[in-house]
Chain A
Amino acid sequence: MAAINITNVSKIYAGGVEAVKSVSIDIADGEFIVLVGPSGCGKSTLLRMVAGLEAISKGTVEIGDRVINDVEPAERDIAMVFQNYALYPHMTVYNNLAYGLKNRGTPKAEIDARVAEAARMLEIEQYLSRKPRALSGGQRQRVAMGRAIVRKPAAFLFDEPLSNLDAKLRVSMRGEIKQLQKRLGTTSLYVTHDQLEAMTLADRLVVLNGGQIEQIGKPLDVYHTPASTFVASFIGSPAMNLLRGTRDGNQLHFGSQVLDLGRAPAFPGQVTVGIRAEDLRIATPGEQALTLKVDYIEELGAQRLVHGTIDGKKLTASLSPEIEIGETMPLTIAPERLHFFDADTGKRLAQPFAVSEGKRVERLEIAGA
């Protein structure tokens, strides 16, 4: 077990593609960090640099106070779980687990004990003598986990380990991984493009975009205080509504529609306004409201997503299924629940109504800002 310090790490592939741009992350001992971002944002590249499967172009990676830039992958004291499991097809499950230990000269008795322990933890005891081809996808996944666990490494690296499983299994494995990691207390770096997986697993999230860190923070902090429009639209489902708004005194204009803020906010005239679908509510009669022209409805059971437009711009509201849906609906939102972003850079602007927000959300760290 060890801390991992990634300092100003860049990756420039042959041909000049800069896949990772000066990324710094300090991972505490035992912490579960999830790298999340859209396809091609450099998550795997960053992980593979930590693993030693990709050379580090610039910067340093330290695992437990040891700079490992030039250390062989097998000597870095890490274990990796691959997306397609990468089990050795010619070895039995037992040998798949034991292989790394054998190569490190671990005594036979200890190998036996460790394999047995890992197999028990992952409930794969009855498959130990099988070859991987005789296992289901979920079982292979467990074996791949087992191969990482038996080594008792300083850190686990995961590259989308669940993306080959079906939706249901993915949810249950997600829970198991989280539990296992808490129990073993092993520092983990986990890559996924699934924001939900990221939210549920992470102690801290790292949102990557185009090779750069957009935001680092606890899942709920990132959710409630996205550092940019990119994070706002990436984290959370349905995605946060982002609308162009113009300030006019106490009022916020969305085209022809107006929302009264109660007092004048301190930011430039043009902003991007972020609205979480679940923060919208039906306006009481007489209250000032935005008029949503309803296009269609998505039933999710516990709530109902109402998709429509205000002044021609798309907006999604998450409402209780008890509420009757008309052709148009009057919606409103508490001003302190609004998010404001710079209209040009997309960076978050300080919340002008921060008094109540401060109660709800702790301070967060914004990287690179």
Chain B
Amino acid sequence: MYLCTMMADETKKAFNVRAIREQFPALSQKIYNKNLIYFDNGATSQKPAMVLDAINQYYSKDNANIHRGVHFMSQHATTEYETARKTIQHYIHAKSSDEIIFTKGTTDGINLIASSYGELLTEGDEILITAMEHHSNIVPWQMLCQRKKLTLKVAPINLKGELITEEFDRLLTDKTKLVSVTHISNTLGTINPIAEIVKKAHAVGAKVVVDGAQSIQHMAIDVQALDCDFFVFSGHKVFGPTGIGVLYGKEALLEKMPPYQGGGDMIAKVTFERTTYNELPFKFEAGTPHIAGGICLGKAFEFLNGLDLQAIQTYEKEITEYAQDLLDTFEDLSIIGEAKHKTSVVSFSIKGIHPFDIGTLLDKQGIAVRTGHHCTQPLMDFFKIPGTIRASFAFYNTKEEIDTFIEAVDRSMNLLK
């Protein structure tokens, strides 16, 4: 018995990049006749065969509408969809599967909170975000503030790309009703101290939204340990399909919130005079959902459950630092974002060279990176640059790929000099 457990642990621990890569068919293709090097995982992740097979299986065999059929296929699809919800619940350690709301993604989740929880806020209330937020964690709050006459406050960061704690503390007052922060910055890789932020926010009676778009792919998430009130993420960034995502919310809060959209599935009883709403989580899931998306996102988490998250985290940190150290040796190149706690993202800019030029030349060498403002324009303004070149890694990337990438950066810089 003891031996068995130990062996199972051993298999899980033996983190083998080669074996993992084989499970991602997209990684073994050629682009412009070069082996693809995919360093755009911050934008979206590639999908393992297990997820691809599930997509195929769903549409070729299991396709049926859920929550509304007496027939076998509908019941089967419903079971699969609700099983996925439970898989996700367990993965992020939510108390109940009623706290897992399927959405279209991070953006959709934040808009849901802004629209619905926003209804509970009143004139003069404040919302606090940080200077490193993605546009989708800025604009919905600006819109809400306009609509409800609230005030949006922005906690500044230092030049390393870290939240300035004293400033955050100063801006967090008893007027603050909502704090919305990214767990990991998609542009800088900074990991924010969420548990600490939550403690402080709760002390003044504010609720906390965590934008988990980047963190869900890179670290083990425990929403109860973090004690955050909401946690949102996108399926496509965590090896699942596009068009599906999750909003976690504490049950008591979700109960208090009015529905976001009206339609089928979210109702208990409809008459022309009055409609009563369905219970959680369905109250927030109007209309036929992305059934295949939900089921296959569940598969993505099953895939992750088969891996050792701790080992992955260590490996990703290691390759990130490896890339950063090599980039650091280039003259005229500056790393943007040097937080003490960071992972999986290396953003940089090169004196006298436009990011677009580097990005285009890297592309021609088979390397996918992102260039530009990464949907964080205010952050670019802060660093006074038009954009960065961003390499963002996943556990299927290798040091050999980074070596090739470094050579390609060197070649591109020489061409552009």
- Please determine whether chains A and B interact with each other in the same assembly: no
Q: Which residues of B contact A (CB under 8 A)?
A: none
